[in-house]
């Protein structure tokens, strides 16, 4: 259940309150009695202890000390706040608490927001397929914030963003049996209508007319047609005349195709449309928040399966831009569908293109779920800003080398390119393959590691994490220099 975050001015002493303090002296007088004050002081004096929880009659009071900027960077402090916020969720839900109030005693607005963000994101559940969903449902519905100078816009944006992350996670968690390419596109359409975004969904006929050979080849093994979704948000008075284009990998299920994956590697492959879900959810949030930036999101979608008619290793396919590709592994399908989308993006003469994809096991092996791999070509002007956003929202980007030399690994004897680069540098050769289809400032993000978790990690709940949504939103918000972040 997505809690609503609201700003209030009144502290209800009988309610469930969380006091964010910098030091003990910040605690409001008259809330705790002498004994309680002594207990809190003693607890906080213990090393590393920053949270004290008091179980008062019928409600809970928590005191959380927020470290001062200096020893740690602000980015780390915000992440700590999100995680501390999340750590209180289960206690609150156990007590069937419906409403909680964060009391920002020291006017630390960003910290208070981060705290609320961690609570809201940590409260996510995917209960659709459970018989006991009513009993399991989290009780928390409202997060109030008392914070003197906190602007309402920031709370509004946070609500929009948490809602978008929830949508993204649910799209990822939905099994492939009920979310094929057409259904995924229909979900995007519903989101577009809600947010006032223009959307066009190209069907198989149109995809054929455009000669999207990569998308069509991957789709050969499927009984469902592919789709290509185009979402366009162009607000009046946008600060950019040329759009920022997002491209998301929409493989609704990746069996590997004829180069079939081993069973256990397949278990989580409903997550192979996490990039698609992220770009759609990001543009959804950007439009709802009315950010003054012209943004387009493109999603090629299909499943990847073996079948009588499936494409096979050894096939040579012709991509939308005429490039021929020798397919040597049908499990390297993401780059094939993305390449056509990157070609399609040229028609916008884009300012910048960012693709986001669960592209390689190599990126996951290199970074685990702790960060995504980032590469870019010609985007010196934008890449550092994206990396900065990544730290700010804790969806971190590790830049991988992107030297020309890696292109050698993709040379084919009989076609313009082959679709795999061999044993080494798998995340980079995948990026290099994509680069072949770009001729604009371009950033590639490989989210194979952080997109999906087997086990909850604080406010990143098990299953789809929604990684990328907060990153892209933050980047676009600050794009025009009139963002509201500190």
Positions touching Zn ion (CB under 5 A) are: 251, 254, 272, 331, 333-334
Q: How far apart are the first and last CA of the chain?
A: 29
Q: Does 326 bind ligand BES (CB under 6 A)?
A: no
Q: Are 275 and 430 in contact (CB under 8 A)?
A: no
**Is beta strand 4-7 parallel, antiparallel or unpaired with respect to 142-146?**
parallel
Q: Pick from 362, 386, 393, 471 the residue near ligand BES by CB under 6 A.
A: 362
Nearer to Zn ion, 360 or 435 (CB): 360
Binding of ligand BES by 16 (CB under 6 A): no
Chain residue whose CB lies nearest ligand BES = 361
The correct pick among 37, 99, 329, 412 for binding ligand BES (CB under 6 A) is: 329
Burial label, 131 (beta-carbon count in 10 A; 0-12, 13-18, 19+): exposed
Q: Which of 141, 183, 261, 388 is catalytic?
A: 261
Nearer to Zn ion, 50 or 329 (CB): 329
Closer Cβ to Zn ion, 383 or 452, answer by number: 452
Give, as ranges, the residues between 118 and 137 that touch ligand BES (CB under 6 A). Answer: none
361 interface partner picked from Zn ion, ligand BES, none, CB below 5 to 8 A per type: ligand BES
Query: CB neighbours (10 Å) of residue 9?
Result: 8
325 lies in the binding site for ligand BES (CB under 6 A): no
391 or 402, CB closer to ligand BES? 402
Q: Is 2 in the site for ligand BES (CB under 6 A)?
A: no
Cβ distance to Zn ion smaller for residue 17 or 358: 358
User: How many chain residues are in contact with ligand BES, going by CB under 6 A?
Assistant: 16
Query: Is 141 among the residues known to form the active site?
Result: no
Kindly identify the residues of this chain, within the stretch 406-425, that bind ligand BES according to CB under 6 A. 420
**Shorter beta-carbon distance to ligand BES: residue 86 or 331:** 331
User: Is 219 a residue that touches ligand BES (CB under 6 A)?
Assistant: no
Residues 228-267 that bind ligand BES (CB under 6 A): 254
Least distance from Zn ion to the Cβ atom of residue 221, Å: 12
390 versus 426: smaller Cβ distance to ligand BES: 426
Asked if residues 347 and 460 have their Cβ atoms less than 8 Å apart, the reply is: no
Among 64-72, 345-353, 355-363, 471-479, the segment contacting ligand BES (CB under 6 A): 355-363
- Does 470 qualify as catalytic in the annotation? no
Min CB(129)–ligand BES separation in Å:
22
User: Does 364 sit near ligand BES (CB under 6 A)?
Assistant: yes
Minimum CB–partner distance for residue 248 and Zn ion (Å)? 12
448 binds, among Zn ion, ligand BES, none (CB under 5 to 8 A by kind): ligand BES
User: Should residue 471 be labelled a site residue for ligand BES when binding is judged by CB under 6 A?
Assistant: no
For residue 360, the partner it binds in Zn ion, ligand BES, none, with Cβ less than 5 to 8 A by kind, is ligand BES
Please report, as ranges, the residues that interact with ligand BES according to CB under 6 A.
254, 272, 329, 331-334, 358-362, 364, 420, 426, 448
**Hey, which residues are catalytic here?**
261, 335
């Amino acid at each position: 259940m997505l809690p609503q975050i609201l700003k209030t001015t009144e502290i209800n002493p009988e309610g469930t309150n969380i006091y964010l303090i910098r030091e003990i002296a910040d605690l409001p007088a008259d809330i705790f009695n002498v004994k309680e004050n002594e207990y809190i002081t003693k607890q906080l004096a213990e090393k590393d202890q920053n949270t004290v929880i008091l179980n008062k009659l019928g409600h809970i009071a928590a005191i959380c000390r927020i470290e001062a900027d200096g020893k740690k960077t602000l980015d780390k402090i915000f992440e700590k706040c999100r995680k501390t916020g999340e750590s209180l969720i289960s206690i609150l839900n156990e007590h069937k608490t419906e409403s909680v109030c964060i009391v920002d005693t020291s006017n630390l607005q960003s910290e208070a927001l981060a705290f609320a963000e961690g609570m809201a994101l940590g409260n996510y559940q995917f209960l659709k397929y459970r018989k006991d969903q009513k009993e399991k449902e989290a009780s928390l519905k409202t997060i109030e914030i008392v914070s003197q100078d906190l602007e309402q816009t920031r709370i509004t944006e946070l609500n929009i963003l948490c809602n978008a992350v929830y949508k993204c996670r649910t799209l990822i968690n939905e099994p492939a049996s009920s979310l094929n390419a057409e259904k995924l596109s229909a979900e995007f359409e519903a989101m577009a209508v809600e947010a006032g975004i223009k959307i066009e969904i190209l069907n198989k006929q149109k995809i054929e007319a455009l000669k999207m050979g990569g998308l069509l080849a991957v789709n050969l093994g499927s009984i469902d047609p592919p789709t290509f979704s185009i979402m366009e948000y162009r607000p009046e008075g946008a600060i950019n005349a040329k759009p920022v284009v997002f491209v998301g990998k929409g493989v609704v299920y990746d069996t590997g195709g004829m180069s079939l994956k081993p069973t256990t590697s397949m278990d989580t492959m409903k997550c192979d449309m996490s990039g698609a879900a992220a770009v759609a959810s990001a543009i959804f949030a950007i439009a709802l928040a009315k950010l003054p930036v012209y943004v387009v999101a493109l999603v090629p979608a299909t499943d990847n399966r073996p079948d009588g008619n499936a494409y096979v290793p050894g096939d040579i396919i012709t991509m939308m831009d005429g490039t021929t590709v020798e397919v040597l592994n049908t499990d390297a399908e993401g780059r094939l569908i993305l390449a056509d989308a990157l070609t399609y993006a040229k028609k916008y003469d884009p300012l910048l293109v960012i693709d986001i994809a669960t592209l390689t096991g190599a990126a996951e092996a290199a970074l685990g779920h702790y960060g995504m791999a980032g590469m870019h070509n010609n985007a010196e002007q934008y890449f550092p800003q994206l990396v900065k956003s990544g730290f700010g929202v804790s969806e971190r980007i590790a830049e991988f080398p992107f030297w020309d030399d890696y292109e050698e690994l993709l040379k084919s004897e009989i076609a313009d390119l082959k679709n795999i680069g061999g044993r080494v540098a798998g995340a980079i050769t995948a990026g290099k393959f994509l680069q072949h289809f770009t001729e604009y400032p371009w950033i590639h993000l490989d989210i194979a590691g952080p997109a999906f978790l087997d086990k909850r990690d604080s406010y990143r709940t098990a299953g789809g994490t929604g990684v990328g949504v907060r990153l892209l939103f933050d980047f676009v918000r600050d794009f025009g220099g009139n963002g509201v972040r500190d």
